Amino acid sequence: MRPTDIAISNYRSIRRLSIPIHPLSVFVGENGVGKSNLYKSLSLLRDAATGRITRTIADEGGLNSVCWSGIRKRGEDGRLQLSARFDRLKYSIEIGFPSPLSASFAGEPMIKEESIETTQGKRTVKLMERKNSLVSVRDDSGAWVNHKDAVLPSEPALAGFYNGKECPEIDLIRNAMLGWRFYHDFRTDPASLIRKPCLAITTPSLSADGSDLAAALATLYTIRQDATDIQDAIQDAFPGAELSAWENNGVCEFALQLEDMPRPFGAHELSDGTLKYICLLAVFMGYRLPPFIALNEPETSLHPSLLAPLARLIAKASHRADIWIVTHSEQLMEALRSESAVPIRRVIKSKGATNIEGLTMAGEYREEEPDDDDS
């Protein structure tokens, strides 16, 4: 299942946003407008499926750091709210501070509510509802079945409640969100695992940290035995170059032969920008792409000459997966605009809150008015 829209409330600089998800979504904005919070909130939502959402919040400094940073109305508790819709199914989660009587550490993020609902015609029907530690699911007759203390207060039911027979939609949504992949940056320092051989395990899609890059590339060369597309992409970015990847004695390695060099360069010898671009090649040209891919500022450390080839990679991959790009590069934005018909969404800050130009409160984009030059 692919997500059709997501909603975010009270996350850092985001007061309230409902954002539709298209095959290719591109968000561009200046530093400080909160565009990275769009990326981070999606990653946090996925952590509800892994069971790590409250731990991630604690790692980021706790609720005081993660929740809405602006002015609140009197009496408003400022709960963090996230949701994702998958066609007729919608998953929602709310996180807040523990009550005085709850069995928890002081200040520990607590999951207050969770729900799964479905749309049947014009009706909305809840299939699962969680309040604190009580999980309630509908049986086949439509009656509620209660499971007291089914999960810990800090544990999402999406990850911790495994009674799929009673509510198969939990498994459906959890598995869909576990398939999301997030790429924020790739370590390219000399000690990075990306620069080292890795175990020869068939790798259909690159891991979030890129540590299995050699295996992801060797899967294309050795398992699929067809590297035509990736070689064409290498030629597009580095004219005259040739990439090779192989398995030897249980490990995978790769090398890049540049046109003006007498020998191939191994991963440990490549420049940071070249190595990162090869990581992006593996992201967008893997044996099997994740259904949803989000990238935060993929242009970082790339030479400007690589942005047009990167845009072509992204546009082509959007036919195989939903892709979410957050960037501050006007050059990448223009390259993407020339490679696809996707509208570029500008992230702005208004009265201290992150917003997206043209996005309504209902989660729809207003049609852009033509420029005077176009009329």
Class (C level, CATH) for 182-342: alpha beta
Residue type, 167: C
pLDDT at residue 373, rounded to an integer: 45
List, for residues 172-194, the tens digit of each pLDDT value.
Answer: 999 999 999 999 989 999 999 99
* pLDDT confidence of residue 372: 44
For the question of whether the overall pTM of this predicted structure is more than 0.85, the answer is yes
Average pLDDT across the chain, whole number: 91
66-105 confidence digits (pLDDT tens): 988 777 776 666 789 999 999 899 999 999 988 766 656 7
How far apart (Å, rounded) are the C-alpha atoms in residues 210 and 193? 8
Instruction: Give the pLDDT score at 371.
Output: 44
Q: Give 272-307 pLDDT, tens digit per residue.
A: 999 999 999 999 999 999 999 999 999 999 999 999
pLDDT band for position 156 (cuts 50, 70, 90): very high
What pLDDT, on the 0 to 100 scale, is given for residue 226?
A: 85
For residue 370, the model assigns a pLDDT of 42
